[in-house]
Amino acid sequence: MPSQFGVVGVHDGTTVTITPSQDVEFGSQNYRTGQPFSARLDRFETLQVQATEDLTGSKITADQPVAVLSGNVFAYCKPMDEHQSGTGDHLVQMIPPVDTWGKEFVTVPLTKHRRGDLFRVIAARDNTQVVVTNENTKTLNAGEFWEIDIPSDEYRHVTSSEPVLLVQYSKTGAVDSTATDPFMMIIPSVAQFEAEYAFSTVDLLSDPSRTTHHINLVTR
Task: Kindly report, residue by residue over 143-175, the tens digit of the pLDDT.
Answer: 999 999 999 999 999 999 999 999 999 998 888
Question: pTM for this one?
Answer: 0.92
Q: Which CATH number is 116's domain given? A: 2.60.120
Q: Give the rounded distance of the alpha carbon of 88 from its chain centre.
A: 16
Number of domains in the chain: 2
Residue 119 placed within a domain:
yes
Q: Which range is least confidently modeled, 3-7, 97-101, 174-178?
A: 174-178
pLDDT of residue 220: 81
197 located within any domain:
no
Mean pLDDT of the region 19-46: 95
- Whether 205 is covered by a domain: the verdict is no
Same domain, 102 and 183: yes
Mean per-residue pLDDT of the chain: 93
What is the rounded CA–CA span in Å between residue 166 and residue 186? 6
Dist. CA 121–CA 65, nearest whole Å: 24
pLDDT, tens digit, 9 for 90 and up, residues 14-29 = 999 999 999 999 988 9
Are 103 and 181 part of one and the same domain? yes
Q: How buried is 42 (Cβ within 10 angstroms: 0-12 exposed, 13-18 middle, 19+ buried)? A: exposed
Q: Quickly state the pLDDT bin for 118 (edges 50, 70, 90).
A: very high
Domain shared by 101 and 30, yes or no: no
User: Is 17 among the domain residues?
Assistant: yes
Q: How confident is the model at residue 210 (pLDDT cuts 50, 70, 90)?
A: confident
Which residue type is seen at 53?
E
The alpha carbon of 4 is separated from its chain's Cα centroid by a whole number of angstroms, namely 11
Residue 205 binned pLDDT confidence (cut-offs 50, 70, 90): confident
Report if residue 161 sits inside a domain.
Answer: yes
Q: Is residue 199 assigned to a domain? A: no
Looking at residues 131-152, what average pLDDT do you find? 96
Residue 179: its pLDDT value, please?
83
Same domain, 114 and 162: yes
Residue 127: which region, alpha, beta or left (left: phi > 0; alpha: psi -120 to 50)?
left
Residue 64 belongs to some domain of the structure = yes
Size of the chain in residues:
220
Residue 109 sits in the same domain as residue 46: no
102 and 179 share a domain?
Answer: yes
User: Does 184 lie in the same domain as 103?
Assistant: yes
What's the pLDDT score for residue 213? 86
Q: Report the C-alpha gap between 76 and 99 in whole angstroms.
A: 30
100 and 187 part of one domain: yes
Q: Does 125 fall in a domain?
A: yes
Burial class (CB in 10 A: 0-12, 13-18, 19+), 59: middle
Q: Which domain holds residue 36?
A: 1-75
Query: Is-contact 65 10, C-beta < 8 A?
Result: yes
* Amino acid 180: pLDDT: 85
